[in-house]
Chain A
């Protein structure tokens, strides 16, 4: 069923319906944390050395704070039924952290459509589609929540 909300027609049945994210559950690998950290020019020893990380109280090599955002690049998303739109681009992203991600963790991720709204600015009318993601680790702890809003230009009114 589609509906018009804030003058945007989209598939309302998707709102709030959690679904598993592609590629999850995912085992977090130490070498991938190190690769991420190296590319970004990180130097904090807990990102590179298991012993140092464990001495600091972590379960394994520690992932830097924004690591999870790399795991959802190009995430598969259901079609929300917008009409007359082209590609979308990431407009905002907010990460709320409740715990740390370490090598050896098995992360699960669920996501759902949180909001769809229209905003008119200097560059015209744009539609924002907001997806919320929850990351849960192998012991069932909610580790992070993330909200990504994607902007679509030129959506039909």
Chain B
């Protein structure tokens, strides 16, 4: 059963959700639905990453996006993600714990469906915002 739309307040917090992605996780992720082995080498190969001017292997953006969507779906208990809009501010390294959290910024109805807007961030445990974005969740009312 989804969260009660009427009970949602602007300023309500989502999460946090703590995550850690290993190099092996990235290797698996970049092979989803593909036989050819995945995306750019800098996701899984340190030397390639350094050649590209990165500090090391980085977590692909779609993994951070997936975590942000996961937080919104779990918080809303099955709400439907209508929009996910993300800015990649800093590289997310492998093997480092990150925290995904958010806050409700608006709520309204469109054609009878409850819509909730949230700001969501992926942060380092030191509080650096690595990825930020906005999600719109449709809540059954």
Contacts and interface: CB of A to CB of B under 8 A. Distances in A.
Do A and B come together as binding partners?
yes
Interface in A43-90: 44, 64-67, 69-71, 73-74, 86-87, 89-90
B81 interface: yes
B66 A64 contact: yes
* Residue among B32, B33, B38, B63 with max Cβ neighbours from chain A (10 Å): B33
B111 to A, nearest CB: 14
B84 A65 contact: yes
B82 interface: yes
A108 to B, nearest CB: 14
Given A66-B62, A70-B62, A73-B39, A97 B29 contact: no
B32 A64 contact: no
| Interface of chain A, main secondary structure | mixed
Contact of A29 (B30, B33, B62, B87): B33
Contact of B70 (A23, A26, A40): A40
Given A41-B19, A70-B62, A35 B28 contact: yes
B86 A93 contact: yes
Interface in B55-81: 60-63, 65-70, 72-74, 78, 80-81
A9 B33 CA distance: 35
B85 interface: yes
Nearest to B91: A89
Nearest to B39: A74
A94 interface: yes
A97 B88 contact: no
B32 to A, nearest CB: 5
Given A32-B33, A35-B28, A96-B82, A69 B87 contact: no
Interface of B: 19, 25, 28-30, 32-34, 38-40, 43, 52-53, 60-63, 65-70, 72-74, 78, 80-88
Interface of A: 23, 26, 28-29, 32, 35-36, 39-42, 44, 64-67, 69-71, 73-74, 86-87, 89-97
